Amino acid sequence: MRPRIRSFSSPSCPRPAGSGRMALLLLAALLLAGCGGRKNQDDSLRIGVALYTQDDTFISTVAQNLEWLAQEAEGRTGQKINLFISDGRSSQSTQMDQVDRFLARQCDVLCVNLVDRTAAAVIIDKAEAEGVPLIFFNRQPVAEDIQRWSQIYYVGASAQESGALQGRLVLDAWRQNQEELDRNGDGVLQYAMLEGEPGHQDALLRTEYSVKTLTDAGVEVEKLANDTANWNRAQASARTAQWLEELDGQIEVVFCNNDDMALGAIDALEKQGLDRSLWPLIVGVDATAPALEAVASGQLYGTVLNDGRGQAQAMVDMALALWSGEDPAQAVDLEDGHYVWLPYRMVTRENLDELREN
Query: At a CB cut-off of 8 Å and minimum separation 6, what does 356 contact?
Result: 292
Instruction: Looking at residues 282 to 321 of the shown chain, list those that interact with ligand GAL (rule: CB under 6 A).
Output: 285-286, 306
Site for ligand GAL, residues 228 to 287, rule: CB under 6 A: 231, 258, 285-286
Question: Minimal distance in Å, beta carbon 188 to Ca ion?
Answer: 5
Closest distance of CB 180 from ligand GAL, Å: 28
> How many other C-beta atoms can be found within 10 angstroms of the C-beta atom of residue 16?
8
- Residues facing residue 191 across a β-bridge: 223, 253
Q: Which is nearer to ligand GAL, 231 or 301 (CB)?
A: 231
Nearer to Ca ion, 72 or 182 (CB): 182
270 binds, among Ca ion, ligand GAL, none (CB under 5 to 8 A by kind): none
Of 243, 278, 227, 284, the residue nearest 261 (C-alpha): 284
Distance CA 96, CA 347 (A): 37
Selected binder of ligand GAL within 202, 252, 307, 317 (CB under 6 A): 202
Q: Does 177 bind Ca ion (CB under 5 A)?
A: no
Least Å distance, CB 172 to Ca ion, is: 17
Measured from the CB atom, the residue of 130 and 186 that comes closer to Ca ion is 186
Site string for Ca ion, 182-221 (x = CB under 5 A): x-x-x-x-x-------------------------------
Beta-ladder partners of 339? 154, 335
339 membership: H or E segment, kind and range: strand 339-341
Closest CB 222 distance from Ca ion, rounded Å: 7
The runs of H, that is alpha helices, within the chain are 20-32, 57-77, 92-104, 120-130, 143-146, 159-181, 201-216, 233-246, 259-272, 289-297, 308-323, 352-357
Q: Partners of 347 in the beta sheet?
A: 303
> Which lies closer to ligand GAL via its Cβ, residue 21 or residue 38?
21
Closer CB to ligand GAL, residue 299 or residue 306? 306
- Least distance in Å: CB of 164 to ligand GAL? 15
Question: Number of H helices and number of E strands within the chain?
Answer: 12, 12
| Rounded Cα–Cα distance for residues 267 and 86 (Å) | 31
What is the contact mask toward ligand GAL in residues 43 to 62, using x (rule: CB under 6 A)? -------------x-xx---
Q: Which is nearer to Ca ion, 51 or 189 (CB)?
A: 189
> What is the Cβ-side half-sphere exposure of residue 265, based on CA atoms within 13 angstroms?
34
Tell me which of ligand GAL, Ca ion, none is bound by residue 182, counting a contact when its beta carbon lies within the kind-specific cut-off of 5 to 8 angstroms.
Ca ion
Interaction site with ligand GAL (CB under 6 A): 56, 58-59, 138-139, 200, 202, 231, 258, 285-286, 306
